[in-house]
Amino acid sequence: MSGAEEAGGGGPAAGPAGSVPSGVGVGVGAGPGAAAGQAAAAALGEAAGPGLPDEAGLAGARQLQLQEAAGDPDAPPKKRLRAAEAAEAAAAAAAAGSGKLEERLYSVLCCTVCLDLPKASVYQCTNGHLMCAGCFIHLLADARLKEEQATCPNCRCEISKSLCCRNLAVEKAVSELPSECGFCLRQFPRSLLERHQKEECQDRVTQCKYKRIGCPWHGPFHELTVHEAACAHPTKTGSELMEILDGMDQSHRKEMQLYNSIFSLLSFEKIGYTEVQFRPYRTDDFITRLYYETPRFTVLNQTWVLKARVNDSERNPNLSCKRTLSFQLLLKSKVTAPLECSFLLLKGPYDDVRISPVIYHFVFTNESNETDYVPLPIIDSVECNKLLAAKNINLRLFLFQIQK
Ligand SMILES: [Zn+2]
Ligand SMILES: [Zn+2]
Ligand SMILES: [Zn+2]
Ligand SMILES: [Zn+2]
């Protein structure tokens, strides 16, 4: 089904605006999000009348995006799903035209890309179009992948970290808007919702306290006491429990092994580390591809270079919601004997990217002086987009020379 069909057929109003699930990093770009944006704009037009002449002028640009989206069978499924949700949100906004003030405000304050109410920072283009932080970063990352100047999906003006500023008034207004608890469906101001859902809601999903010894039960908080009183797990025999605990120990052991090996590497005689800065470049193929490379650097008296690529050089990484980076370590100087190394990339001292530590291992010789591409263990695609949106990627490389 195309984004256009879904946008047209978004069933009955899906409750208040706050119930629309959010997702950072999907539904961005000139795709179905924009299609639903048009629906929302139409709804807004009805609701607000001539008060917002700005929106009318944008309909043309959105129509164009709508057509692009409709003809794009490669659009990631998540994107298309988001279009359906956004259409419901638009329908909700339309229904709200005659409804409560809060509901009308929803369509004014929502992100113009994903149509959700922003959860954290809100950015605006020089013409005032609002974007949530996730969409903003995703747009910048997309532009980097396509080697284009990032533009506002509404008015096509240039956007960048220096051109766009935050809109604190919108951020504060959004945090005051009522929002529905996903469990008990009662309304709360957005600013209180998180605490309510985490700590106070009687319907929130909880787990049995005997989960530690293998009870899989989970259910609403108000049933927890009854379950725990009747739970069979505390009466299990010692040998039954041993089996359950064994499974848990195994995953724990793996983690400990990793940390132990890092600690033993730290007692090696020859250790070197340095800050590395990956800079973006384009290949000179017919269809150019983004890749990253560091300037040459010296560690352990050898000269090295690091390279990185996006989605393992997939043809159109900008069409995919999933983003990954992989990297390769190259030895640039000549060695007189094989150089056996363990190496590890971690976040740099000034950057805030979440990477889980993974130790790689390689024997460098003059004939074989580059490692394969190995995954840069970034936590998720959202983190990866953060890196792509930045000017450079700053990490710290550790090298441990293994001496026989
Ligand atoms: Zn957004
Ligand atoms: Zn704009
Ligand atoms: Zn609740
Ligand atoms: Zn239980």
Of 348, 393, 339, 346, residue with least CA distance to 369: 339
Q: Among 161, 192, 223, where does a domain finish? A: 192
pTM, two decimal places: 0.58
Which ligand sits nearest to residue 156's alpha carbon?
2
Residue 366 belongs to a domain with what CATH number?
2.60.210.10
> What CA–CA distances, in Å, run from 217 to 235, 239, 240?
15, 21, 17
Q: Among 247, 265, 283, where does a domain finish? A: 265
Instruction: State how many domains the chain has.
Output: 3
Of 290, 313, 314, 321, residue with least CA distance to 75: 321
CA of 191 to the centre of ligand 3 (A): 14
The pLDDT value given to residue 84 = 52
Yes or no: say if 142 and 155 are a contact pair by the CB < 8 Å rule: no
Secondary structure of residue 128 in the 3-state scheme: coil
Cα 54 to Cα 74: distance, rounded to the nearest angstrom = 32
Residues 343 and 300 in one domain: yes
Yes or no: say if 147 and 282 are a contact pair by the CB < 8 Å rule: yes
Which ligand sits nearest to residue 131's alpha carbon?
1
Yes or no: say if 346 and 357 are a contact pair by the CB < 8 Å rule: yes
Residues 397 and 304 in one domain: yes
Helices (H), 49-148: 53-70, 77-95, 101-109, 133-146
Which ligand sits nearest to residue 223's alpha carbon?
4
Residues 6 or more apart from 56 whose CB is under 8 A from it? 45
Residues 274 and 380 in one domain: yes
Which ligand sits nearest to residue 225's alpha carbon?
4
Residues 295 and 355 in one domain: yes
Of 33, 24, 46, 48, residue with least CA distance to 3: 33
In tens, the pLDDT along 213-235 reads 889 999 999 999 999 999 999 99
**What is the span of the domain harbouring residue 243?**
237-265
Residues 284 and 241 in one domain: no
Secondary structure of residue 208 in the 3-state scheme: coil
pLDDT in single tens digits along all 404 residues of the chain: 333 333 333 333 333 333 333 333 333 333 333 333 343 333 333 333 333 334 433 444 444 444 444 434 444 444 444 555 555 555 555 554 556 888 888 889 999 988 888 888 999 999 999 999 988 988 998 888 888 899 999 999 999 999 999 999 999 998 888 888 889 999 888 888 889 999 999 999 999 999 988 899 999 999 999 999 999 999 999 999 998 889 889 989 998 999 999 999 999 989 999 999 999 988 888 777 889 999 999 999 999 999 999 888 777 777 777 888 999 999 999 999 999 999 999 988 777 788 888 999 999 999 999 999 999 988 888 888 888 888 888 899 999 999 87
Residues 6 or more apart from 17 whose CB is under 8 A from it? 89, 92, 93, 96, 103, 106, 107, 110, 117, 177, 179
Cα 156 to Cα 99: distance, rounded to the nearest angstrom = 32
CA of 49 to the centre of ligand 1 (A): 24
Q: Among 192, 219, 245, where does a domain finish? A: 192
CA of 233 to the centre of ligand 4 (A): 6
Residues 397 and 277 in one domain: yes
CA of 236 to the centre of ligand 4 (A): 11
Cα 390 to Cα 201: distance, rounded to the nearest angstrom = 39
Strand 270-282 and strand 393-401: the pairing is: antiparallel
Tokens of 315: 């043809």
Residues 153 and 179 in one domain: yes
CA of 199 to the centre of ligand 3 (A): 9
Residue 213 lies in a domain: no
CA of 116 to the centre of ligand 1 (A): 6
Residues 284 and 253 in one domain: no
CA of 369 to the centre of ligand 4 (A): 55
Count of beta carbons in the 10 Å neighbourhood of residue 364 = 21
Residue 58 lies in a domain: no
Q: Determine the straight-line distance between the first and last CA of the chain, rounded to whole angstroms.
A: 62
Which ligand sits nearest to residue 133's alpha carbon?
1
Residues 339 and 289 in one domain: yes
Of 301, 282, 304, residue with least CA distance to 292: 282
Which letter does DSSP use for residue 373 in this model?
Answer: P
CA of 21 to the centre of ligand 4 (A): 29
Q: In angstroms, what is the C-alpha Rg of the chain?
A: 26
Residues 393 and 286 in one domain: yes
Residue 5 lies in a domain: no
Residues 304 and 185 in one domain: no
Residue 210 lies in a domain: no
Instruction: Count how many residues are written for the chain.
Output: 404
Which ligand sits nearest to residue 89's alpha carbon?
1
Secondary structure of residue 187 in the 3-state scheme: strand
CA of 93 to the centre of ligand 2 (A): 21
Cα 200 to Cα 206: distance, rounded to the nearest angstrom = 12
Residue 176 lies in a domain: yes
Which ligand sits nearest to residue 233's alpha carbon?
4
Cα 331 to Cα 87: distance, rounded to the nearest angstrom = 53
Residues 273 and 397 in one domain: yes
